């Protein structure tokens, strides 16, 4: 009886899962690119000369698609995620932050500390409002929930616009668990900020406080409405009754008029 020649069996090796890489993720992102959406996003995120997103580049991929892709790539090692975060493409950085959110939620104490540190090392790449808003509460806020929060004060004084936005938006995590002191403290530190994106974020967080505790919001407004930037105040009072909105906007107008008269006399 003739024996058949036994050939190597490669099937088991070929079925072994391969860890996702940054290079493979970028290739996948490019395959999903939509030039028409990319053009729209370039304008929506203010990427022109002198604008807050100057130089950012988009592939044109919608967020629901990005979230599905993040689910497929959730096992990507942290060093590869960090490499993805260094990409010039906005969607690559967004994907990296979605992966960091997921990794932080699944990690143990040591892993969460490492992700938190990597995040703060990468703030130069977390450089648009959507990137900050989808990640700061889930990583910075969540990490500081059981730790000292002085880091937020330092971030709020940064020259980096996005670090200042991280400082206030991270407090959304505290708001969700019924803690408002840090939001109100950071909001006070940002009253004199000159950037519209900080005004919007701070007003948004104040509004979120007011949705849960109107008294705390009104106490803050009673003390500071007269000195709040207009956009910050409008965002903060958006959910209040019309009479209250008029009251606080009137307080700000009176303070502005008084300051203008004083300036004119000099």
The rounded distance, in Å, linking the Cα atoms of 19 and 213 is 46
Q: Is residue 12 part of a domain?
A: no
Residue 27 lies in a domain: yes
Give the confidence band of 7 by pLDDT, cuts at 50, 70, 90: very low
**In this prediction, what percent of the chain has a pLDDT beyond 70?**
89
Pair (189, 101) in one structural domain: no
**Final residue of a structural domain among 99, 121, 147:** 147
* Res 8: pLDDT: 45
Q: Are residues 28 and 126 in the same domain?
A: yes
At residue 16, φ and ψ (nearest 5 deg) are -70, 130
Q: Does residue 175 register a pLDDT over 50?
A: yes
Quote the CA–CA distance of 120 and 129 in Å, as a whole number.
16
- Is 99 part of a structural domain of the chain? yes
Tokens of 168: 């206030």
pLDDT band at 14 (very low <50, low <70, confident <90, very high): very low
Domain-located, residue 8: no
How many domains, the chain? 2
174 is a domain residue: yes
Query: Across residues 45-53, what is the average pLDDT?
Result: 94
Residue 54, CA distances (Å) to 36, 127, 177, 248 in order: 19, 10, 36, 35
Task: Tell me what pLDDT residue 191 has.
Answer: 98
Q: What is the pLDDT of residue 18?
A: 76
Burial of 134 (0-12, 13-18, 19+ CB in 10 A): buried
Q: How much is the pTM? A: 0.89
Res 144 pLDDT > 80? yes
- The helix, strand and coil proportions of the chain, stated in percent and rounded to the nearest 5, come to 70, 0, 30
25 plus 136 within the same structural domain: yes
Question: Is residue 223 over pLDDT 60?
Answer: yes
Closest alpha carbon to 248 in 206, 185, 208: 206
SS3 82: helix
Q: Which two tokens stand for residue 73?
A: 């790539």
Q: Give the residue from 117, 147, 177 where a domain finishes.
A: 147
Q: Is residue 6 part of a domain?
A: no
DSSP state of 225: G
- Among residues 101, 116, 147, which one ends one of the domains? 147
pLDDT band per the 50, 70, 90 thresholds, residue 15: very low
pLDDT band at 17 (very low <50, low <70, confident <90, very high): low
Residues 141 and 161 in one domain: no
pLDDT digit string (tens) for 126-139? 999 999 999 999 99
Same domain, 68 and 90: yes
Give the residue numbers spanning the domain of 229: 151-266
Q: Which residues pair with 57 in a beta bridge?
A: 89
pLDDT for the residue 247: 95
On the question of pLDDT at 257 being above 80, the answer is: no
Q: What is the CATH number of the domain that holds 190?
A: 1.25.10.90
């Amino acid at each position: 009886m003739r024996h058949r020649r036994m050939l190597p069996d490669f099937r088991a090796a070929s079925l072994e899962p391969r860890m996702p890489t940054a290079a493979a993720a970028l290739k996948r992102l490019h395959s999903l690119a939509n030039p028409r959406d990319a053009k729209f996003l370039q304008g929506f995120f203010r990427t022109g000369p002198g604008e807050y997103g100057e130089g950012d580049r988009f592939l044109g991929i919608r967020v629901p698609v990005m979230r599905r892709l993040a689910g497929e790539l959730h096992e990507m090692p942290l060093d590869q995620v960090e490499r993805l975060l260094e990409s010039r493409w906005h969607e690559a950085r967004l994907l990296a932050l979605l992966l960091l959110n997921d990794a932080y939620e699944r990690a143990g104490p040591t892993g969460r500390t490492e992700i938190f540190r990597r995040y703060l090392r990468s703030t130069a790449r977390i450089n648009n409002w959507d990137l900050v808003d989808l990640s700061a509460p889930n990583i910075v806020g969540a990490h500081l929930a059981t730790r000292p929060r002085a880091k937020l004060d330092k971030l709020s004084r940064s020259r980096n616009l996005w670090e200042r936005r991280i400082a206030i938006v991270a407090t959304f995590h505290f708001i969700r668990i019924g803690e408002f002191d840090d939001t109100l403290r950071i909001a006070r530190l940002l009253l004199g900020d000159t950037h519209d994106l900080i005004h919007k974020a701070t007003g948004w967080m104040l509004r979120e406080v007011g949705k849960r505790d109107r008294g705390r919001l009104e106490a803050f407004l009673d003390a500071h409405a007269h000195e709040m930037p207009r956009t910050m105040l409008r965002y903060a009072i958006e959910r209040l009754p019309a009479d209250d909105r008029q009251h606080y906007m009137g307080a700000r107008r009176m303070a502005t008029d008084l300051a203008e008269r004083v300036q004119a006399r000099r």
